[in-house]
Amino acid sequence: MTLSAPSLRWPAPAKLNLFLHINHQRADGYHELQTLFQFIDFCDYLTITLHDNDEVTLASELNQVVADSDNLILKAAKSLKLATGYRGGAHIELEKNIPMGGGLGGGSSDAATTLVALNALWHTGLSKAQLAAIGLSLGADVPVFINGYAAFAEGVGEHLQAVSPTEAWYLVIAPDVHVSTAAVFQDPQLVRNTPKMTLASLMSSPWRNDCEMLVSRQQPQVANALGWLLEYAPSRMTGTGACVFGSFEQQQEAKAALANLPSHWRGFVAQGKNISPLEQMLNSL
């Protein structure tokens, strides 16, 4: 693969948890879960320009609200340099579209795209498994974005099995609240005892999110958005929220519901993708 700088515009897609079951909390504090990840064609975008000095810099509207030391894009780039000994740098421009704190995986996806793109641009030659190991140190959801395929996940989210759920159309609503994933998983009222099921049983059973009841109780806007959306389609919360989504067979049905969305909520229509836009881009290079 021969790529030149400045780079292409690299997609960092959002994801939905089509279901999310919390099985138990381990002694180390982490939670065993079973979940189904599917990508959607709604993305952040990273434009990367290579340069010869050793510095990695980031231009983003988030620079004002997220410290460099906490930024997953910069952490990912530095982790790749550390793992490979690469000498050289890059300037990354982030176009941020995915709502933060919404359960859509935007930060994890940005980190994954950084690792995948720089591994290609820097010719560092790491495998997906090696990139995923770096990604897991940044966040539990990063490996699924590196893997690039819709997946059934177990463990803390690191054991992945490719699956092919229906690529439905979704209306995603982002209530104007920020939900802390850490706070949800630390809450004593979180459901933690859903029995583990086989993948076949899970795929044929009604889907739910074990975090939804707790978050809806604590965040009235989430409960209100779910209540509104359920009038149009089967609907659930994704991840630990705050975003909720309704599933539609046809794009025009989702768009018709979006047209009626109350003005105090942000919403968008996107299609489920079992091969991520990032993976599709890699395969086309």
Q: Which residues are catalytic?
A: 15, 141
Nearest Cα residue to 194 out of 35, 33, 37, 36: 33
* Spatial distance between the Cα atoms of 3 and 219, rounded to a whole number of angstroms: 46
3-state secondary structure labels for all residues of the chain: CCCCCCCCEEEEEEEEEEEEEEEEECCCCCEEEEEEEEEEEEEEEEEEEEECCCCEEEECHHHHCCCHHHCHHHHHHHHHHHHHCCCCEEEEEEECCCCCCCCCCHHHHHHHHHHHHHHHHCCCCCCHHHHHHHHHCCCCCHHHHHHCECEEEECCCCEEEECCCCCCEEEEEECCCCCCHHHHHHCCCCCCCCCCCCHHHHHHCCCCECCHHHHHHHCHHHHHHHHHHCCCCCEEECCCCCCEEEEECCHHHHHHHHHCCCCCCEEEEEEEECECHHHHHHHHC
* Spatial distance between the Cα atoms of 216 and 225, rounded to a whole number of angstroms: 9
* Spatial distance between the Cα atoms of 175 and 168, rounded to a whole number of angstroms: 22
Angle (nearest 5°) at CA 280 between 143 and 14: 50
Residue type, 125: G
